Amino acid sequence: MPEILIKHSPLGLREELRFEKIHTVIFPKAYEGSMQVAREIAALIKEKEAHNKPCVLGLATGSSPTTVYNELVRMHKEEGLSFKNVHTFNLDEYYPMQPNSLQSYVRFMDEFLFNHIDIDRANIHIPDGTLQTEEVFDFCQQYEQQITNLGGLDLQVLGIGRTGHIGFNEPGSHPNSGTRMVTLDHITRVDAADDFIEIDNVPRKAITMGVGSIMKAKRVILMAWGEGKASIIAKTIEGKQNDLVPATFLQNHANVTFVLDEAASAKLTRVNTPWLVASCTWSEYQIKRAVVWLCQKTGKPILKLTDRDYNDNGMSDLVSAYGSSYEINIKMFNQLQHTITGWPGGKPNADDTNRPERAEPAHKRVVIFSPHPDDDVISMGGTFIRLHDQGHEVHVGYQTSGNIAVFDDEVIRFADFNKELNKFLGVEGVGTSDLYEKVKKEIADKQLGEQDSTEVREIKSLIREGEAKAACRFVGLPESRMHFLNMPFYETGKVKKDPFGSKDVKVLVDFLRKIKPHQIYAAGDLSDPHGTHRVCLDAIFAAIKEMKNDYWMQECYVWLYRGAWQEWGIEDIDMTVPLSPDELRKKRKAIFKHQSQKDSAVFPGNDAREFWQRSEDRNTDTAKQYDKLGLAEYEAMEAFKRYKF
């Protein structure tokens, strides 16, 4: 049996793995991990074929395996990998669900894999979401039987949900459970809401293979990418086996490998606090991380940490290297102190040796990139206002239209407004009434998740553009500094976007070459696996690479802020901009200009708070953390990490 992955790092041999109860391989990026998994699957198919045997694969849907499927399709097309001997059993399907529906797993599998390979359609099995309730039990029994008749699953591919589910085996599932109908957890439905536009549309039930069915597979590979998975991955690999995290049952499987990217591995002990499991390489960054962690663990500010605190927590080698805890404490305290500045564009005529930004030139050209039309004010509204008030030439580059996140009824409201205004102005007869009727009808007839027409998309874009302009006017920016870049990758009209290409990069290159900024601010969501922020950032990096020899680019500082969803760890921060209570209120007002995202957003993610609340909680939390470390106490702080290219 080809177990390509397992040869890398056998379980139990290395000291730093001592908390891990599941064989785990970490790759720098999801792409590299996916290639390795695809290679193992391909090797298995070929080996079975060489012995004239069927190859029985258990498959998953979701974002985790998509790159593996793309690679298998490539191998089929370019290397002649044949799927003639392959039988597949998908883990699950929503219930009820029509196979042609946009959200069905039948459609997912066709689009990602089956339509592009030479598999015999009779060999494809996916739980049937169209059955009557009373038919489900028999269907599930047969599903198990069909797997058994083929000799069992040779390999089961898995993702993991934030609840710790595998398949749709939610918390409470029994380790011996078989294929059956289940009720989905609220968190799982929240996570699926993007595909169904609103949570209320997500089915409450599903048919899933059981934990027991998965455990019977001869080999299991679970993939997890991105920081959103880091917590549940750490619980699954290092935690006690229990039915509240069904994936922990995999600790009992004799041939399982977890394949992670670095972001998903971030909370494993060997990655998060390596000093607790092995001797560690003490880079400056690692020391900062360790000291912040030690303060949190002991509840002490930096300057009160003692030799004993360090020694008791796996850091005695660090104390020996420095001579005493006092030396480490002072050094780290000063480093953090120097990240704080009220002058994000640099303080004119000041000694800038220990400041995050240069004093010169005193008036800088600044570009703030905002992936969606509201990220500028949500994530760095206070800094944005300061930069403008301190006399810098601030430009905002809105990277995408954000049109997918506007409710349909808003479109009708604005089309109606347009019609009535034109009536008032006496400019009827230019199609505005028709437009109103047209969009009203289109929206009434729209299927769940169906693409909007060009007109509806344009109205949605204009609604968001108007809000961004209102926020910029509130800050005091003239219209000439608001740039709506409409990067093409975003304009699919669907939740799923295209990958970015040369056209997207060109938009950014042309824009930046026109402004030649001294500072660039960008949303640094480094490991968001399928979000727009990640794509927007990659496109900025590609543009920077293309211009790295431009004289102005060599002088340009790039600052990364975090998007609407999370904040930098203290150890990552290179600049913090404190906000007074008044400044925080002003920032809130700027966020309020984004009315289409207020009260309830189309894509709220898994956080029930409104965007302004999340933003304030984040900023006040950063301030509290600085305070607890023994630095000055502020109301709130916006945090930035410098990207060095």
Catalytic residues: 170
Owner of token pair 């301030």: 623
Instruction: Give 165 or 288: the residue with its C-beta nearer to ligand F6R.
Output: 165
Which residue from 392, 370, 390, 349 is spatially nearest to 519, judged by alpha carbons? 392
**With binding defined as CB under 6 A, does residue 114 bind ligand F6R?**
no
Q: Is 226 left (phi over 0), alpha (psi -120 to 50) or beta?
A: left
Beta-carbon contacts of residue 347 (< 8 Å; ≥ 6 apart): 341, 355, 357, 359
- Shortest Å, Cβ 37 to ligand F6R: 13
- 639: three-class secondary structure by DSSP: strand
* Cα–Cα–Cα angle for 112, 565, 571, rounded to 5 degrees: 115
Of the ranges 162-170, 449-457, 499-507, 632-640, which one interacts with ligand F6R (CB under 6 A)?
Answer: 162-170
Count of CB atoms situated within 10 Å of the CB of 431: 11
**With binding defined as CB under 6 A, does residue 63 bind ligand F6R?**
yes
CA distance 428 to 46: 68
**With binding defined as CB under 6 A, does residue 62 bind ligand F6R?**
yes
**With binding defined as CB under 6 A, does residue 129 bind ligand F6R?**
no
Burial of residue 605 (number of CB atoms within 10 Å: 0-12, 13-18, 19+)? middle
Site string for ligand F6R, 2-41 (x = CB under 6 A): ----------------------------------------
Of the ranges 95-103, 159-167, 449-457, 635-643, which one interacts with ligand F6R (CB under 6 A)?
Answer: 159-167
CA distances from residue 55 to 1, 66, 110, 183, 234 in whole angstroms, order as listed: 11, 20, 19, 31, 32
**Phi then psi dihedrals of residue 597, to 5 deg:** -105, 5
Which of 2, 58, 127, 159 binds ligand F6R (CB under 6 A)? It is 159
Which of 24, 34, 36, 61 binds ligand F6R (CB under 6 A)? It is 61
- Shortest Å, Cβ 295 to ligand F6R: 33
Instruction: Give 185 or 571: the residue with its C-beta nearer to ligand F6R.
Output: 185
Beta-carbon contacts of residue 389 (< 8 Å; ≥ 6 apart): 476
Of the ranges 157-165, 179-187, 298-306, 354-362, which one interacts with ligand F6R (CB under 6 A)?
Answer: 157-165
Instruction: Give 169 or 400: the residue with its C-beta nearer to ligand F6R.
Output: 169
Count of CB atoms situated within 10 Å of the CB of 430: 9
Site string for ligand F6R, 297-336 (x = CB under 6 A): ----------------------------------------
Q: Scan residues 529-588 and list those touching ligand F6R (CB under 6 A).
A: none
Beta strand pairing status for 557-561 and 636-643?
antiparallel
At 575, which helix (H) or strand (E)?
strand 575-579
**With binding defined as CB under 6 A, does residue 60 bind ligand F6R?**
yes
Q: Scan residues 166-225 and list those touching ligand F6R (CB under 6 A).
A: 166-168
Query: What does the chain come to in residues?
Result: 645
CA distance 355 to 358: 7
Instruction: Give 166 or 295: the residue with its C-beta nearer to ligand F6R.
Output: 166
- Position of minimal CB gap to ligand F6R: 159
Site string for ligand F6R, 474-493 (x = CB under 6 A): --------------------
Size of interface with ligand F6R, in residues (CB under 6 A) = 14
Of the ranges 58-66, 248-256, 552-560, 586-594, which one interacts with ligand F6R (CB under 6 A)?
Answer: 58-66
> Do the Cβ atoms of 263 and 526 come closer than 8 Å?
yes
Whether the bond into 96 is cis, omega within 30 of 0: yes
- Shortest Å, Cβ 420 to ligand F6R: 44
- 569: three-class secondary structure by DSSP: coil
Site string for ligand F6R, 90-109 (x = CB under 6 A): -xx-----------------
Instruction: Give 26 or 223: the residue with its C-beta nearer to ligand F6R.
Output: 223
Which residue from 298, 231, 301 is spatially nearest to 566, judged by alpha carbons? 231
CA distance 503 to 485: 11
- Shortest Å, Cβ 524 to ligand F6R: 22
Instruction: Give 31 or 417: the residue with its C-beta nearer to ligand F6R.
Output: 31
Identity (one letter) of the amino acid at 227? E
List of residues contacting ligand F6R (CB under 6 A)? 60-64, 91-92, 159-161, 165-168
